[in-house]
Amino acid sequence: MAKDYYKQIRFILYSNEPDETKREKLDNYHANDIANVVEHLSKIERLKLYKIIGLDRTSEVFSFLDDVNEFIDELDYEQAADIIEKMDADDAVDVLDELEDEDAEQIISRMDGESAEDVKLINSYEEDEIGSKMTTNFISIPYGYDVKQTMKELVKQAAENDNINTLFVLKDDDVLYGMIELKDLICARKDSNIDDIILKNTPCVRDTDIVSEVINDVREYDMDVVPVVDEMNRLVGVITSSDITEAVDDEISEDYAKLAGLSSEEEEGESLGKSLKKRLPWLIILMFLGLIVSSITTTFEGVIAAVPTMVAFQSMVLDMAGNVGTQSLAVTIRYISDDDENKKKSKKIILHEIKIGVMNGIILGIIGLIFITSYLIIKAFVFGGATEFMPVFLNAFKSGGIVGIALFIAMSVSAFTGSFLPIMLTKMKIDPAVASGPFITTLNDLLAIIIYYGLTYLLFIAI
């Protein structure tokens, strides 16, 4: 798609038509599509494009660019400031965050007062606070306006703020009184009491709320914009539906990184040293945990030497235990992150996962028993030259029984650890995703080894 647009947009740029005609044609392309093309244009072509489409449109395009600092570097500080100050405050902050500190400061110092203040406001919040995700692009109406005055104020502010589907009614000192849906305002008569269309019990979030703790609540409102207020209930910004989508995506990406044993999500193109710093500490910890598993295995050397056949089925038992533990872990983390009520249902979650683990263990244990027994009998007669059925059957059945029982116990225990561990960590105020993935797999390997070779010792050697 981008290649087709590249040819079309480049053709428009080099046509002999007036710039105004070119601008009208380029207005028919989405800003994201133009951004995709910008990355393939030369510097001269890009500067020509910016001039034709104008500041407002250029700012839209820049909000969709990847590696935006590369394109900002092509502009002088004044040009960059003119473009960035036209962006929504949250988009402007994202762009400035990608620049060197000195460049960002130079650009902010050249932005108009209001835009610079909005950027500083959003930057004043910690990265994990809702305030850092909000935008100051919203329509506000003074309390006491009638329908006609409200409509007039909407038209006036719409030129600068494009989030117009919801209007926020403010009392003195910007205290939030309520909100008006645009469709209700349009349907209202001139002489209607505007108070009748104001939603007073407005869903809102605090600017210092932690994103991961409230993002699901915000998403459930299913609103185009959700107001963000400070401790005095003053409206300081709004969270838009796109902000919510982006925040959810960031949370998922972060948890995915943690499930892989990383402290945070790796960024494309980051330095080798930075990637090593994120991965190496966890790998060192996991290596020592692996050594514990290996040392436990060595205590069963006598069992392995006496019954070497059982080594062939070790990986199956360990893998199934790890799979069950990871499934329970993923379900539990998702469940307890939904809301506070779910966090209180720890026993119910653990019991539910144990039941599933037990049932899966019974089914797969029986399948393992039948498969391993049949396999060992066939192997003994076809490749081993066995002649007597009963001794072969008893040994094969014993081996299959060990695998089946080990699968049942290991999967049941793994379901318990996979659900219990994240709940326990949550109660200890530790992010459960951090101790997931590799940790739960290593722990389940340890338990599965003890169960598997312990059963082998009991049934083949001790008896």
User: 336 with 443, same domain?
Assistant: yes
Average confidence (pLDDT) over 278-290: 73
**Are 188 and 94 in the same domain?**
no
Q: How far apart are CA 463 and CA 457, in angstroms?
A: 8
pLDDT digits (tens, 9 = 90+) for 355-377: 998 999 999 999 999 999 999 99
Contact indicator for 376, 400 with CB cutoff of 8 Å:
yes
Domain span at residue 83?
Answer: 2-123
| Within a domain: 267 | no
Give tens-digit pLDDT for 393-449: 988 998 899 999 999 998 998 888 888 877 777 777 666 655 556 677 777 888 888
Last residue of a domain, one of 68, 95, 123: 123
| Pair 118, 157 in one domain | no
Whether 118 maps to a domain, the answer reads: yes
Pick from 123, 153, 172: which residue ends a domain? Answer: 123
Residue 350 vs residue 260, higher pLDDT: 350
In a domain, residue 133? The reply is: no
Look at residue 21 and tell me if it is in a domain: yes
Within this chain, do residues 455 and 422 fall inside the same structural domain, yes or no? Answer: yes
Has residue 443 been placed in a domain? yes
Confidence of residue 2 (pLDDT cuts 50, 70, 90): very low
Q: Is pLDDT of 1 > 50?
A: no
Give the Cβ contact number of residue 297 at 10 Å: 18
Q: What is the pLDDT confidence band of residue 249, given thresholds at 50, 70 and 90?
A: low
The domain that contains 311 carries what CATH number?
A: 1.10.357.20
327 and 430 in a single domain? The answer is yes
Do 65 and 119 fall within a single domain? yes
Considering the domain architecture, whether residues 279 and 201 belong to the same structural domain is answered as no
pLDDT above 90 coverage of the chain, percent: 16
Integer Cα distance of 271 and 106 in angstroms: 26
- Single residue among 226, 259, 292 that ends a domain in this structure: 259
The Cα–Cα gap between 222 and 240 comes to 10
Do residues 61 and 29 touch, judged by C-beta distance below 8 A? no
Let me know if residue 128 belongs to a domain: no
CATH code at 205?
A: 3.10.580.10
CATH code where residue 35 lies: 1.25.60.10
Q: Are residues 252 and 277 in the same domain?
A: no
pLDDT level of residue 142 (50, 70, 90 thresholds) = very high
Phi, psi of 441 (to 5 degrees): -65, -45
Check whether 58 has a pLDDT greater than 70.
yes
Q: Per-residue pLDDT for 218 more than 80?
A: no
CA-to-CA separations, 286 to 99, 290, 431, 438, 449, in angstroms, rounded: 36, 6, 18, 7, 17
- Give per-residue pLDDT as tens, 11-26: 898 899 999 999 999 9
Cβ within 8 Å of residue 443, ≥6 positions away: 289, 325, 417, 421
In a domain, residue 151? The reply is yes
Residue 134 lies in a domain: no
So what's the pLDDT on residue 262?
53
Shared domain for 240 and 281, answered yes or no, is no
- Residue 108 and residue 146 in one domain: no
Q: How many domains does the chain have?
A: 3
